[in-house]
Structure 1
Amino acid sequence: MPILTAAVVLVGLLCVLDLLLSFGIIRRLREQNETLKNVQRNAAAQPEIALPAGATVGAFSATTVGGAELSTADIDGTRALVGFFSPNCTPCKERMPEFIEYATGFEGKVIAIAAGNEEETADMVVRLGEVAEVIREFDGGDVHQAFGASGYPALCVVEADRTVLASGWEMSALPVPAKL
C-alpha cells in the first residue's frame, strides 16, 4: 500500500510539473506573438530609405570614379535613375543585377553610388560602370544627403525637374520601364 501511495503522489507531482511547464510555454508563445506583431507594425512604419515620391532632390556635387564632375545641374532637364549600393550589403548584391538590367532599358541618366573605399568597392564599380556613372562616396556624403539615402540599396527614379517619381529598396518600387 505505501508503494501505491508513493506512486500516486509521484504521478500527481509529475502532472503538476507538466501543468506548470505548459503554462510557461503558453506564456512564452503569447510573448512571441506580441513581439512578432510589434515587428510587423514597425516594419510598416519604417521611414523611407530615400526621398519619397514627390520630394525634390537636394543640391550635390561629386566626382565620378572616371574623374568627371557630376552635380545637380547634370540631372536637371533629364530623367535619372539613381542607385546606392554598399559592398557589405547582402540585399545590394541581390538587387545589383536587377538594377543593371533595369538601367540598360532606362532612357535618361543613370547614376550609381558605391558606398565605401576603393578596395571594398572595386568589383561593384566595375559592374555598375557598365551602365552608370559611378560615384564612390561614404555614407553621409553630398549625394547621400541630396537623395535622403539612409540605407542600402536605395533606388530612385527622378523626373526632369528633380522631383522623385519613385523610390525604395526593391526594384518593384520603381516604375516599369515601358511606363516611363
Structure 2
Amino acid sequence: MATETGSAPTAPPTLAIGESPAEFAATAESGRRFQRSGLSGGRNLVGFFSTTCEPCLEHAPRFAEYARSFEPGRVLAVIQDGEPGAAKAFHENLLPGVEAVVEKMDGPVARAFAVEAFPTMYVLDSEGRVEHFAFTTARLPQPAAA
C-alpha cells in the first residue's frame, strides 16, 4: 500500500467510500422532504454547491446533465446560499430539473455529508453508503447502463 508524504491529509475531506451520512432531514424547494432513511433502496446522486464558488458555476450544469442517468427522485443538489437570494437563480439557471435544498453555509445536510469543499458530489449505493465521491464532474463514474 502506498504511503502519503508531506503534509497531505490522511483522510479525504469528506465521507469516505463505504461510509453513510449522519442523520439529516431537509425540505427541497419543491416541498419534497429528504432524509437519510430515504437514501436506501436505490442508487442516489447528491451534489453540494455554493453560490460563491467559481468551480460550482462550471460543474453545476454538468451535474444536472449527469443526473439524468439516475432514477427520478434519486438526485439532490444542496446549494449553500452564500449571497442572500442567489440560490434561487443558481438553481434555476444551472441545475434545471434537479431537486434542490437551499441552506446556509455549514447547513445540516452539508454537515451530515462532512462537506468541506465545493463542489462535492456523491454517488450512494442502494444502502445509502458512499460508493463514489468527486470534487469535479469529470471524476464521477460512468453512468450505469439503463
Partner of 2:77: 112
CA RMSD in angstroms comes to: 2.3
Structure whose CA Rg is larger: 1
Matches within 5 A, 1:18-167: 41-42=6-7, 44-45=8-9, 47-107=11-71, 109-116=74-81, 119-127=85-93, 130-167=96-133
TM-fit CA distance, 1:98:
1.3
- Say if 1:176 and 1:137 are closer, same or farther in 2 by CA, change over 3 A: same
Provide structure 2 residue ranges, at least 5 long, that are not aligned to the other structure.
none
Runs of 4 or more, structure 1, over 3 Å off, are 44-47
Once the two structures are aligned, what percentage of the paired residues are identical? Answer: 30
The separation in 2 between residues aligned to 1:132 and 1:101, in whole angstroms, is 9
Q: Which has the higher contact order (CA 8 A, sep 6+)?
A: 2
Q: Is the 8 A contact 2:60 2:95 kept in 1?
A: no
With normalisation by structure 2, the TM-score equals: 0.83
- Say if 1:46 and 1:88 are closer, same or farther in 2 by CA, change over 3 A: farther
Provide structure 1 residue ranges, at least 5 long, that are not aligned to the other structure.
1-39
TM-fit CA distance, 1:128:
5.4
The separation in 2 between residues aligned to 1:147 and 1:156, in whole angstroms, is 9
Question: Aligned pairs, how many?
Answer: 140
Partner of 1:170: 136
Q: Is the 8 A contact 2:61 2:94 kept in 1?
A: no
Partner of 1:31: none
The separation in 1 between residues aligned to 2:10 and 2:106, in whole angstroms, is 19
- Say if 1:41 and 1:170 are closer, same or farther in 2 by CA, change over 3 A: farther
The separation in 2 between residues aligned to 1:174 and 1:127, in whole angstroms, is 22
Higher strand share goes to which structure?
2
With normalisation by structure 1, the TM-score equals: 0.69
Q: Is the 8 A contact 2:49 2:79 kept in 1?
A: yes
